[in-house]
Amino acid sequence: MLKKLLLTVSALVTGVLMYAQDAPTGGVKGTVINRNDRQPVENARLSLMQGAGEVANAVSAQDGSFLIGNLPDGMYTLIITAPDFMEQQVGVTVVDGYVKNMFTLSLTGQEKLAELEDAATAELDMDDSGFGDNPSVLFDANDVFANVASFGFSSVRFKQRGYNSETQEVYLAGVRMNDALTGYGPYSLWSGLNEAMRAKDTSVGLGAADYNIGGYNGTTNVTGTASSVRKGLRGSILTNSALYRLRVMASYATGVMDNGWAFAANVSARLGGNDWVKGMYYRSFAYYLAADKHFGDEHTLSAVFFATPGERGAQNASTQEVYDLVKDNMYNSNWGYQNGKVRNARVRKTHEPVAILKYDFTPSDVFNVSATALFRFGSNGYTALDWYDAYDPRPDYYRNLPSYFWMDNKDYGRDNLPKYAMAAEAWSHPNDYPTTAHINWDRLYNVNRANIEDGEARSKYVQEERHVDQKDFNFAVNGKWRPLSWMTLVGGGQFRMNTTENYKILADLLGGSYYLNIDNFAERDFAANPEKLQNDLDYYLSHNMTAQKKVAGEKYGYDYLAQVRSLSVWGNMKLVFGNFSGSIGGRVGFQKVWREGLLRKGLFPGTWEEVKAINDKYGLNMQPALDAGGRAITSYGKSDAVLKPTGAVKLNLNYIIGGNMRVYANVGYFRDAPSFNQCFISPRTRNTVTPNISSVKTFATDLNWQYSGNGFNVRLTGYYSRINDITKVMSAYDDVQNAFSNFVLTGIGERHYGMELGFRTPTPLPNLNIRGALALGRAEYVGNPTMTQTIDNSAAPVTFNGESKVEVAYWAKSPVYKRTPEGFITPEIDHYQQHYVPSTPQLAADLGLTYFFKYWFFELDFQYFDWAYLDMNPLYRTDYATAGPDKIVTPTEIEYMTTQEKFDGAFMMNISVGKSWFIKHKYQLGFSLNGKNLLNNKLVKTGGYEQTRIVDNTVSKEQYYRFDPKYFYMSGINYMLNVYFRF
């Protein structure tokens, strides 16, 4: 028995030894470094290919090293990928069973981020739409879909899964930075500081994050501290043709020095106009200073201070009639010649510094906690023309356009063809008729100078600067603890105290000496009641019933504080069991908002008691303005507070199959408080809270399949979400009411579903890859919201057939009626047209080739976008609007008024090329050149909106007509050249 055993063991040992002698002993090893600063790159993925198949893979260690062993002799291709770096491919030959030492493999950083972020924060003037948006795409180098989509789809203002940008959660140093008043992403706070803000963690969709449980539309955290800035001195100079002409940028970072200090600085300037939109320009600067002090391995104290002072000229949307007349879809009505030089009326002027103090405590590998105090302050102004008792100075005001004088449809009553021809002639030759197609600044000065009252020039036209100046204090604590090898707990909390002063100043009196601080809309209805006209009633009363004269730089019009307080705590538990992992987390908190008026407006003088006191003191007979419920509406002092609980729960499940494949699913429910701007119907004038304001409730889920191996990287996702009780507040002039109006939409519902596919695959040709992304989804409205309209001059809401709250009956869908064989419309409904969330293509596809060779890279992308829709005006979709002046609803009117416009699909081609060189083994010089829209397609609508106006003075008086919608277009062929220098 013992003999048998010995023989068996002997045979096994011999067999093993024999096998060992036959096993391949070759391999490849080396260290992955950052080409810029020669620092090791951790977590780079190395995939060893033979033909199209992956033979082996590895991940670089903390020091950048890697080893792939047990390779038979042969020729291989090693593909190295890492977040924030461009993919690199090198050939490897293993001979005689030796381990090939590649020494250092350097990766080149992505350089296209600069363009992406600036494009996302370009100033688009949506003011007269009542809608606002700030689209952005989260960049995530780890995600193959986001990697392509964030670059490739930004030019058409693609919104991932159709979600509004405010649903993205954006953090800085662990503090949620979404705007306290609007919820929008705060990218403009650090645009131009690309180097300092490069380090970030991003999760896509419902994915979990370490600094919060995140939302349902991606979560990103910009590290922002000195230690996170790439070491070394670097500079770049960039020119592009679509945004600004010149960007110069420099940064320097020490990295963590032996004494524990780390310092970093980043400055930049973005200057000039562009090839496509006249009047749009940048004069923006940026600075960033940061220092970290590491006290041993446990304590780190970080201080950061940055801002992006400067100004940006804005682009405006116009109607297709205007674009066709001037033969330019990039026409911008915001500018005109002053003294022969270009001047833009709408300029964003900002200087909003952010100061951060962060403390990190890392006592062990299994526990760390950080605390961050962040303060944002400064000023954020946006200029616009304002006027009193004067003709509208905007060149594309509808009464200046040819269609105002003649239209083919006689029902408009516009019958003067010669006037039409003359106006069209002028518009068609804007260089010959600059005062027709552009703002006539010289005239505005002349009018102001000539308007002498009491011996002084009283300005009729001024340039105002609307300020939204935030004092935003945030304090966040985030911690991470791994008590067990299979369990990680993360959690924290954030408190926000935001006080934002909303006011406007007289930026420029345009040649006049003063401007009278009265409400010119109110004057039209209450001319004989001077108290009602006053924007500052208290001043008027205390100055012998004299309206206030304002000079340049002074506040006028309105002035109020938006107060926001919020607190939330969150926690997330992550579990790992073999190939299975999951997390479950939750967040609870509240948000409280209120308005605090700093001026007593004459239209809304106060409560009964306050008005009585005024009357007694000044011998007047004023009355309070009463709402529909008989309650006095106030403008001065505090409003009612809107207190809403917030919360979220989220579950993530993750299963790894065979090392390369992953299946994961996420599901979450979110209850988000409405933003301040949604809580008040007309905060410029009064304290009135939006009636029936609700929290937004969202259910979202997705299911994902991911494969990463053999040189392939694929993600396929299906998603579904339902959002209820969205509120929108819009303000616009209403021709039916002949007044400036506020429209409140409550109870908007949305349903989002679809799929995402991202992939990158090798080809039989060395160094040539195919990549692609496909977003195919639907973001559609569900159910009909209700609309309440108020006008600034009146306390009571507008009534429609006696009702102040009306259903927007054709919001989610509109009927399409059957036709007779002769083409006449019948009362029988054929089908319904579904209405969609606007201003993003819901079908976006990219197919590209990438080629890397000896530090050259070439990329060629073909893109197709479709299923994009126009932003809808709720007024058009009410029974009131479809009934028309005769109050008779017809199928023709319903179809005409309620249909949602779908934009045409668009095909595009982009190309990128780049290269870098080392000079004397010390300096690095490189460039990247991106050419976009090489087919010069100038017909791609990227957004727009229906005007909230109705043509009501028709001849037949049978139906209302829409005002023409306004559009934004994508620019034609454009380039960006970036030359960088580092050492």
Find the binding residues for other proteins in span 269-298 (CB under 8 A).
271-274, 278-279, 281-283
Q: What is the closest distance, in whole angstroms, from the C-beta atom of residue 343 to other proteins in the complex?
A: 5
Contact 42, 60 (CB under 8 A): yes
Tell how strand 99-107 and strand 26-34 pair up.
parallel
Pick 18 or 450: Cβ nearer other proteins: 450
The residues pairing with 571 across neighbouring beta strands, listed in sequence order, are: 491, 586
Q: What is the closest distance, in whole angstroms, from the C-beta atom of residue 341 to other proteins in the complex?
A: 4
Figure out which of the listed residues 127, 525, 538, 803 binds other proteins, where binding follows CB under 8 A. 525
Q: Interface residues for other proteins in 580-639 (CB under 8 A)?
A: none
Strand blocks (E) in 298-441: 299-307, 310-313, 315-316, 318-319, 335-338, 341-344, 347-351, 354-364, 367-376, 379-387, 439-440
Pick 712 or 927: Cβ nearer other proteins: 927
Distance CA 99, CA 66 (A): 12
Q: Interface residues for other proteins in 426-465 (CB under 8 A)?
A: 426, 433, 435-436, 441-443, 445-451, 460
Residue 161 found at the interface with other proteins (CB under 8 A): no
> Both tokens of residue 721?
């979400």
In the block, which residue shows the tokens 């003294």? Answer: 339
- Which of 350, 328, 338 shows the shortest CA–CA distance to 461? 338
Residue 331 found at the interface with other proteins (CB under 8 A): no
The residues pairing with 961 across neighbouring beta strands, listed in sequence order, are: 951
Q: What is the closest distance, in whole angstroms, from the C-beta atom of residue 923 to other proteins in the complex?
A: 7
At 436 the three-state DSSP class reads helix
- Which of 89, 100, 110 shows the shortest CA–CA distance to 46? 89
Figure out which of the listed residues 425, 469, 803, 895 binds other proteins, where binding follows CB under 8 A. 425
Tell how strand 549-550 and strand 515-516 pair up.
antiparallel
Q: What is the closest distance, in whole angstroms, from the C-beta atom of residue 420 to other proteins in the complex?
A: 9
> Both tokens of residue 895?
């179809």
The residues pairing with 560 across neighbouring beta strands, listed in sequence order, are: 502, 597
Pick 486 or 917: Cβ nearer other proteins: 917
Pick 245 or 293: Cβ nearer other proteins: 245
- Window contacting other proteins (CB under 8 A); options: 375-383, 415-423, 645-653, 688-696: 415-423
Q: What is the closest distance, in whole angstroms, from the C-beta atom of residue 337 to other proteins in the complex?
A: 8
Helix count and strand count (H, E) for the chain: 14, 57
Pick 20 or 528: Cβ nearer other proteins: 528
Figure out which of the listed residues 21, 62, 259, 339 binds other proteins, where binding follows CB under 8 A. 339
Q: Interface residues for other proteins in 886-905 (CB under 8 A)?
A: 886
Figure out which of the listed residues 409, 416, 546, 936 binds other proteins, where binding follows CB under 8 A. 416
Q: Interface residues for other proteins in 202-261 (CB under 8 A)?
A: 237, 239, 245-246
Which residues fall within 8 angstroms of residue 537, CB to CB, at 6 or more apart? 531, 599, 600, 601, 602, 605, 614
Figure out which of the listed residues 493, 511, 586, 711 binds other proteins, where binding follows CB under 8 A. 511
Figure out which of the listed residues 70, 529, 546, 936 binds other proteins, where binding follows CB under 8 A. 529
- Window contacting other proteins (CB under 8 A); options: 74-82, 332-340, 662-670, 894-902: 332-340
Contact 481, 367 (CB under 8 A): yes
Q: What is the closest distance, in whole angstroms, from the C-beta atom of residue 625 to other proteins in the complex?
A: 12
Distance CA 807, CA 970 (A): 35
Residue 342 found at the interface with other proteins (CB under 8 A): yes
Q: What is the closest distance, in whole angstroms, from the C-beta atom of residue 548 to other proteins in the complex?
A: 18
Q: Interface residues for other proteins in 345-384 (CB under 8 A)?
A: 347
Residue 680 found at the interface with other proteins (CB under 8 A): no
Backbone angles phi, psi at 321, to 5 degrees: -55, -45
Residue 927 found at the interface with other proteins (CB under 8 A): yes
Which residues fall within 8 angstroms of residue 677, CB to CB, at 6 or more apart? 181, 182, 683, 729
- Window contacting other proteins (CB under 8 A); options: 15-23, 577-585, 686-694, 975-983: 975-983
- Window contacting other proteins (CB under 8 A); options: 418-426, 475-483, 558-566, 586-594: 418-426
Residue 977 found at the interface with other proteins (CB under 8 A): yes
Distance CA 267, CA 249 (A): 6
Figure out which of the listed residues 199, 925, 929, 934 binds other proteins, where binding follows CB under 8 A. 925
Q: What is the closest distance, in whole angstroms, from the C-beta atom of residue 963 to other proteins in the complex?
A: 16
Figure out which of the listed residues 57, 110, 121, 400 binds other proteins, where binding follows CB under 8 A. 400
Q: Interface residues for other proteins in 71-90 (CB under 8 A)?
A: none
Tell how strand 124-125 and strand 315-316 pair up.
parallel
User: What are the CA-CA distances from residue 312 to residues 23, 282, 345 (Å)?
Assistant: 65, 5, 11
Q: What is the closest distance, in whole angstroms, from the C-beta atom of residue 245 to other proteins in the complex?
A: 6
Q: Interface residues for other proteins in 53-72 (CB under 8 A)?
A: none
Q: What is the closest distance, in whole angstroms, from the C-beta atom of residue 347 to other proteins in the complex?
A: 8
Residue 526 found at the interface with other proteins (CB under 8 A): yes
- Window contacting other proteins (CB under 8 A); options: 29-37, 408-416, 478-486, 650-658: 408-416
Pick 137 or 518: Cβ nearer other proteins: 518
Tell how strand 45-50 and strand 941-945 pair up.
unpaired
Contact 761, 712 (CB under 8 A): yes
Q: Interface residues for other proteins in 935-964 (CB under 8 A)?
A: 952-953, 955-958
Pick 817 or 983: Cβ nearer other proteins: 983
Which residues fall within 8 angstroms of residue 613, CB to CB, at 6 or more apart? none
Figure out which of the listed residues 919, 935, 936, 939 binds other proteins, where binding follows CB under 8 A. 919
- Which of 931, 969, 946 shows the shortest CA–CA distance to 327? 969
Pick 799 or 826: Cβ nearer other proteins: 799
Number of residues interacting with other proteins: please give it, by CB under 8 A. 81
- The DSSP-derived string for 214-245 is --SS-EEEE--SGGGSPSEEEEEEEEESSS-S
Kindly report the CA angle at 112 between 109 and 114, in degrees rounded to 5? 105
Binding-residue pattern over the window 490 to 509 for other proteins, x denoting contact by CB under 8 A: --------------------
Figure out which of the listed residues 418, 455, 764, 827 binds other proteins, where binding follows CB under 8 A. 418
Q: What is the closest distance, in whole angstroms, from the C-beta atom of residue 426 to other proteins in the complex?
A: 4
User: What are the CA-CA distances from residue 676 to residues 58, 184, 247, 646 (Å)?
Assistant: 50, 12, 35, 14
- Which of 180, 177, 143, 174 shows the shortest CA–CA distance to 160? 143
Q: Interface residues for other proteins in 305-324 (CB under 8 A)?
A: 313
